[in-house]
Amino acid sequence: MTVAPIIDGVPPDDDAPEVPDDVAEGTTAPEMITLRIEVPRECDGWRLDHFLKRRIGRLSRTRIQGIIATQISLPDGRRVRASSPVHAGQVFVLCRPAPAEPPVPRHFEVLYEDADVLALDKPAGLPMHTTAKFWKNTLVALLRERYPDEKMEIAHRIDRETSGVLLVARHHQAASWLKTAFARRTVSKQYLALVKGQPPDDGVIDMPIRLLDSPTHLMMGPAPDGLPAVTRFRVVQRFADYAQCEASPETGRQHQIRVHLAAIGHPIVGDKLYGGGEPLFMRACDEGLTPELLAAFDNLPRHALHAHRLTFPHPTTRQNMTVESPLPPDLVDYIAGLAPAS
């Protein structure tokens, strides 16, 4: 499993992976963040610094040891040594300064709701879970603010820059049902993607993908030894230099649609990682979207991928339901400015 960069010193990545499921969000003081990190079975007996290096990644052992000395403790407050052995199920507490968070959209519309589910219209730019850059400005945090008495669970994930339909369970039984439905591929998803160039009218991209050994530790890519990944697509509108496609992923791999469309030579407009490449992506992380970089990313601040339609079996009625999100105004305006196809 890709590990979240949850410690200071990690380069800020817009696509940084979320905090893993066994790193639970804790309480937060005005200037500090507290996280609980549980040792999985496969790390039983490891040294603490080796375990944290695996969990955090991308930091030097010297930096890891400094973090252990200043930010890591046992739940009762006792400090631990870098060489201390860890045991399966053991919990460590990490207390770190709260990051200065970039502004993000903090409002979302509800497309459908009942006692079991919420279908939200997630805005582009709103991250779902805690990352190195975001703590309070996340969908999870906003759900807690808007529904403080409910223990909601997000049923699936979409990237920070992707907008559109997102399904949230309002209780554990609904969450279990929906996550099983996603795992069994009984949920149908259709995305709208604006891509560069002129792809075929339709097609099926059957291409295994996996996490690549790359500088960002974020980039997925085609690989014979990757996980099976299949995306169907069809062109719904053409322009002089671009095409709008409907993409339907039959599997749910990380960044799947973005990787697949880029792999056939038609990256998504505005995609910093798979359209611009890692050097430009890292510059955008370090420098922000300068006019030069914005031009390199097709003059679109976010990638042009929108979760348009989701069909799922309802947890109570067991009947299929379809929820749609219209294309958001930023993409509508961008498309309106494109030269028509000749």
Write down the domain spans for the chain. Answer: 23-97, 109-336
Q: Return the pLDDT at 4.
A: 32
Q: Which residues of the chain have pLDDT under 70?
A: 1-31, 57-59, 99, 130-135
Q: What residues are annotated to the active site?
A: 159
Q: Return the pLDDT at 213.
A: 87
Q: Return the pLDDT at 217.
A: 78
Burial class of residue 36 in the structure, from the number of CB atoms within 10 Å of its CB (0-12 exposed, 13-18 middle, 19+ buried): middle
Q: How much is the pTM? A: 0.76
CATH 1.10.1660.10 holds for 109-336: no
Helix axes 48-56, 61-71, angle to 10 degrees: 110
Q: Return the pLDDT at 32.
A: 75
Q: Which DSSP state fits 327? A: P
pLDDT in tens, 162-206: 999 999 999 999 999 999 999 999 999 999 999 999 999 999 999
Six token digits for residue 285: 């992380």
Fold of 23-97: 3.10.290
Q: How far apart are CA 297 and CA 304, in angstroms?
A: 11
